[in-house]
Structures are given as C-alpha cells and as structure tokens.
C-alpha cells in the first residue's frame, strides 16, 4: 500500500513537471514569435515615434534609445526582461503604457466573448445533438444548413448587413460603442465588464444600455460559434449512437432521452469541453473584425488601430496577451477534464 502511494505521488509529480515544462516552452516560443514578428514587419519604429519631420541626429538618438543598434540576441534578452516585468513599452498612438491600454480594452473583449460563447454553447450543442438523433429528417437538414451558413458567410459582411438593416433601416440597435454617451462613466467597477459591474452597482439603466449595445455583436459571434459547435456535437453524437453499448441499451428497452442524455452525452462531454475551449479562444482573437464593424472598444479594435498606424509595441503586446490567455484557458480545461471524466485522473 505504501509503495502504491509513492508511485501515485511520483506520477503526479511527473505530470506536474511535464505540464510546467510544456507551458514554459510554449511561452518561450510565443516570446520568440512575437519578437521575430516585431523585427520582420516592414515598419520603422523610429519613424513611428518621430513622424515625418526629423533630422539624422534625432533619428540616431531614438534608434540607440530603442536598442536597435545592439546585436539581435541582446535585443531579444532585453525584450524578454521587459516582458517579465510587464513592460510592453509605450503606444505611439495613445502615448500610454501598452500594459495600461491592454488592461483598459481587454475586459470589453472578454465580456463580448463570454456572452458569445454562452449563446453559441446553449444553442449549438443541443442543436447538434438533436440533429444527430433525428438524422436524415428536416430538423437535421435545417441544422446543417444553419451551420453551413455560419461557416461560409464572412462575419464582417453579416455585421455590415445587420448595421444597415437594424440600425440604419429600422433603428432597433445602436450604431456602435459599449454604452450610450449619457451613461458613460457612471459605473466603474472592479472587473471592467460593464454588464457585470452595473449589476453589482445596481445601476439598471447602465445595465440595460450596455446590454442593448452588446447584443448584436454577441449574437453574431455566438452564431459563428454555434455553427462550429453544432457541427462538432452532431459528429460526436453520431459516433456514439453507432456504438454497441447504445444498441444494447435500446435492446433493453431504455427510452430514447435516457439513451441520448444519460449514456451517449456523458461520453462526449470531454470532447465537447475541448471544442468549446477552442471556440472561446477563437472568439478572443477572432473578434477583430466584428469589433471593428460595430466600433466595439475592445482588444480587436485596439489591435486593428495599432496595425494601421504601425504601432508595434501595441501589436506585440496584444498578440502576446491573446497567446497567454489561450494557454491559461487550455490549462484550465485540462484541470476541468479530471472532474468531468474520471478516466483522465
């Protein structure tokens, strides 16, 4: 018994060391990737700082201040050192520290992504399961058409059509932004997510204003997530419905809902958790277009503006933040696996 306990501890320690090594390796690769991108992009950071009017002496001074005259490996070491101290440099557009800008805009993207993935999961997973159970019927065909449209239609085009019809034509939705101007600044909570902060502060007018603004972009992103999740849920469920234990359950006379939800669904939970995690990570870095269309002041719009003005400090900071959040979300999903599926413990 004592030997088994030691074996379990050694195995747990080995898994922990392996996980930490994978995370550190991934982070290092992400740092290398962002550094290479920053050096390969055909944009001169000195020109971005000085503008069009400067003399050679000023150019040389800024060039040396940025450390661009040093060897590449020295620049990389300084880059890693600054990142470890949460120093992403200063934005050439906002003139603020990039870390302060990211702390300001990221909650808006996180709020949008959370609402979108909730909509996509609540609608997409049941739709995919029902489509698999009713395979070959009109429900299945309709679900597949809805999923195909969600995959094939560009989301920026859908966003533009929604604005033209429901804002310019019918006036049902606001034109852009997170909140009405007369409600702006009334709630400044700890999370930076207006809907949650307004609920905590019991500012219901601010709450309904924020919900009115977020609904259209969240529904569009949720529709894209729903198309992906419904297709994957249908595929997972069809695979389980063809297994022998399902045939045995049917032979025993179990009801269809019991077979689907108590037996088949339990065996696809881990797979669904994986695809939901991937869809959520995709929403974080895929919200660039929808934020630009709806004027949503989040990380996507901030990244778009930084790319347009060749603000590489802001671009690299945003890319690094998205990569770090994706790593943390995948790590969290690995932990959740152990509670959802005992076979992974």
Please tell me the total count of domains within the chain: 2
In a domain, 90, yes or no: no
In a domain, 243, yes or no: yes
| 106 and 232, same domain (yes or no) | yes
| 78 and 153, same domain (yes or no) | no
Residue for token pair 């992400």: 30
Rounded distance between C-alpha atoms, residue 318 and residue 342, angstroms: 37
| 32 and 161, same domain (yes or no) | no
In a domain, 93, yes or no: no
| 251 and 120, same domain (yes or no) | yes
Q: What is the pLDDT of residues 101-126, one digit of tens each?
A: 888 888 888 888 889 999 989 998 89
Q: What is the pLDDT of residues 172-218, one digit of tens each?
A: 777 777 777 776 667 777 777 888 888 887 888 888 888 888 888 88
| 64 and 168, same domain (yes or no) | no
In a domain, 91, yes or no: no
| 68 and 181, same domain (yes or no) | no
Rounded distance between C-alpha atoms, residue 234 and residue 238, angstroms: 6
| 168 and 69, same domain (yes or no) | no
Q: What is the pLDDT along the chain (345 residues), one digit of tens a residue?
A: 455 666 766 776 777 677 777 777 877 887 788 777 777 766 666 776 666 666 777 777 777 777 777 777 787 888 788 888 888 877 877 888 888 888 888 888 888 888 999 998 999 889 988 888 888 888 888 888 888 887 777 777 888 888 888 877 787 777 777 777 776 667 777 777 888 888 887 888 888 888 888 888 888 888 888 888 888 888 888 888 887 777 777 777 777 777 778 777 888 887 888 888 888 887 876 677 788 888 888 888 888 888 777 777 788 888 888 888 887 887 777 777 666 665 555
In a domain, 124, yes or no: yes
| 198 and 335, same domain (yes or no) | yes
| 236 and 320, same domain (yes or no) | yes
Could you tell me the CA-to-CA distances from 93 to 29, 49, 133, 176, 304 in Å, in that order? 28, 9, 53, 21, 12
| 157 and 192, same domain (yes or no) | yes
| 218 and 249, same domain (yes or no) | yes
**Which domain, by its residues, includes 332?**
98-344
Q: Where are the alpha helices (DSSP H) in the chain?
A: 2-40, 45-50, 56-65, 72-84, 98-133, 138-152, 155-162, 194-201, 204-241, 244-251, 256-257, 269-286, 288-294, 299-308, 312-340
CA angle, residues 91, 97, 98, in degrees to nearest 5: 65
Choosing from 57, 84, 111, the residue where a domain stops is 84
| 124 and 221, same domain (yes or no) | yes
CATH number, domain with residue 130 = 1.10.3720.10
Residues 6+ apart with CB under 8 A from 17: none
Tokens coding 299: 């990380």
CB atoms within 10 A of CB 17: 10
Choosing from 84, 115, 144, the residue where a domain stops is 84
In a domain, 92, yes or no: no
């Amino acid at each position: 018994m004592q030997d088994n306990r030691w074996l379990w501890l050694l195995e747990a320690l080995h898994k922990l060391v392996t996980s930490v090594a994978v995370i550190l390796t991934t982070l290092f690769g992400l740092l290398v990737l962002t550094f290479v991108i920053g050096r390969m992009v055909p944009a001169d950071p000195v020109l971005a700082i000085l503008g069009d009017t400067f003399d050679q002496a000023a150019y040389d001074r800024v060039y040396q201040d940025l450390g661009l005259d040093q060897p590449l490996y020295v620049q990389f070491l300084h880059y890693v050192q600054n990142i470890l101290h949460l120093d992403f440099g200063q934005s050439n557009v906002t003139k603020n520290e990039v870390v302060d800008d990211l702390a300001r805009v990221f909650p808006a993207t996180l709020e949008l992504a959370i609402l979108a993935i909730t909509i996509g999961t609540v609608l997409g997973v049941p739709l995919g399961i029902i489509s698999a159970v009713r395979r070959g019927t009109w429900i299945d065909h309709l679900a597949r058409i809805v999923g195909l449209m969600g995959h094939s239609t560009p989301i920026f085009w859908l966003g533009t059509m929604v604005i033209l019809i429901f804002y310019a034509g019918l006036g049902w939705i606001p034109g852009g932004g997170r909140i009405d101007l007369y409600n702006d600044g009334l709630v400044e909570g700890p999370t930076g997510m207006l809907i949650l902060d307004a609920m905590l502060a019991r500012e219901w007018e601010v709450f309904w204003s924020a919900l009115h603004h977020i609904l259209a972009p969240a529904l569009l992103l949720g529709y894209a997530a729903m198309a992906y999740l419904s297709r994957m849920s249908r595929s997972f469920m069809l695979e389980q419905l063809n297994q022998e234990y399902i045939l045995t359950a049917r032979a025993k006379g179990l009801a269809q809902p019991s077979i689907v939800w108590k037996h088949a669904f339990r065996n696809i939970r881990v797979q669904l958790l994986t695809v939901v995690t991937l869809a959520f990570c995709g929403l974080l870095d895929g919200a660039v277009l929808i934020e630009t269309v709806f004027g949503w002041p989040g990380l996507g719009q901030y990244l778009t503006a930084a790319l347009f003005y060749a603000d590489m400090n802001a671009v690299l900071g945003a890319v690094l933040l998205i990569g770090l959040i994706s790593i943390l979300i995948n790590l969290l999903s690995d932990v959740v696996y152990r509670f959802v599926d005992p076979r992974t413990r």
